[in-house]
Amino acid sequence: MNFSAQSKAFALLLSVGLVAGCSSTGGTPEEGGEYGSDVAAVDQEGGSTVYGGDDQGGVSSSAMTEEERMAAREQAEQQALREVTVFYFDFDTAEIKQEARDVLVAHARFLANNPGQSVRIEGHADERGTKEYNLALGERRANAVQRFLIVNGASRGQLETVSYGEEKPAVMGSSESAWAQNRRVELVFE
């Protein structure tokens, strides 16, 4: 998964915050370096190592830092959750499983924070049963995910649904395991 524009912006903000904090208080370069590397561990692409290295001030407030640490950790967790973009369903149902909920909430928050980002929600069914009913079932699954994302902060304009029914299996074959992997909704970020 790509680091998104949002996470880059977040890291940048974090770094700017560090610089601002340091300039007001002063401190040791070593400390500054420490914080720099800490942030860098969160997001190498964010450019935070550059700011860390430049920093002459160090950190005055450990409370602020803790907040930042938590924010960074939260950021990393959210990002890790968003690595998951495929959600599975039971036969002939469109019920979102418990384990998918946290992940979908993370996607919804991300979409809420990035109004310019759109996502295609692709609904699929396994090969069993009839093609046209499965087309409708795939749509019902995609719609269920769409509603969940909207309830959790995404806006309708960011979301497009399409059902492929049983036409585009993720896995070929007629086993329980293949069917389980084919009854799914995929989020495709565009």
Partner 1 sequence: MTHRIWYKPSRTLLAAIALIFFAVSGARAELLIRITEGADAAIPVAVVPFAESGQMPAGDKAGSIVQADLSMTGEFRTLPPEKMLSLPSRREEVYFRDWRLLGQRYVLVGSLTRSGDRVQARYELFDVNREERILGETAAAPASNMRSLAHHVSDKVYEAITGVPGAFSTKLAYVTLDTANGKPRYRLQVSDVDGKRARIRLESQEPILSPAWSPDGKKLAYVSFETGKPVIFVHELGTGKRTKVADFPGLNSAPAWSDDGRSLLMTLSKDGNAEIYRMNLESRQLTKLTNHWAIDTEPSWDASGKGVFFTSDRSGGPQIYHMETPGAEPRRITFGSRYNARPRPDNDGQYVYYVHQRDRAFHIARTELKTGEETILTRTESDESPSVAPNGRMLIYATRQNGTNVLTVISADGGAAYSLPASEGDVREPAWGPLVR
If the CB atoms of residues 12 and 136 are measured against partner 1, the closer one turns out to be: 136
Nearest approach, Cβ of 64 to partner 1 (angstroms)? Answer: 48
- Name every residue whose Cβ is closer than 8 Å to that of residue 152 and which is 6 or more positions away in sequence: 104, 105, 108, 109, 112
If the CB atoms of residues 136 and 180 are measured against partner 1, the closer one turns out to be: 136
If the CB atoms of residues 42 and 137 are measured against partner 1, the closer one turns out to be: 137
- Name every residue whose Cβ is closer than 8 Å to that of residue 146 and which is 6 or more positions away in sequence: 121, 156, 159, 161
Nearest approach, Cβ of 161 to partner 1 (angstroms)? Answer: 7
Nearest approach, Cβ of 65 to partner 1 (angstroms)? Answer: 48
- Name every residue whose Cβ is closer than 8 Å to that of residue 62 and which is 6 or more positions away in sequence: none
If the CB atoms of residues 42 and 125 are measured against partner 1, the closer one turns out to be: 125
Nearest approach, Cβ of 132 to partner 1 (angstroms)? Answer: 4
If the CB atoms of residues 43 and 139 are measured against partner 1, the closer one turns out to be: 139
Nearest approach, Cβ of 96 to partner 1 (angstroms)? Answer: 17
Write out 3-68 in H/E/C secondary structure.
CCHHHHHHHHHHHHHHHHHHHHHCCCHHHHHHHHHHHHHHCHHHCHHHHHHHCCCCCCCHHHHHHH
Return residues touching partner 1 (CB under 8 A).
Answer: 92, 127-133, 135-137, 139-140, 143, 161-165, 167-168, 174
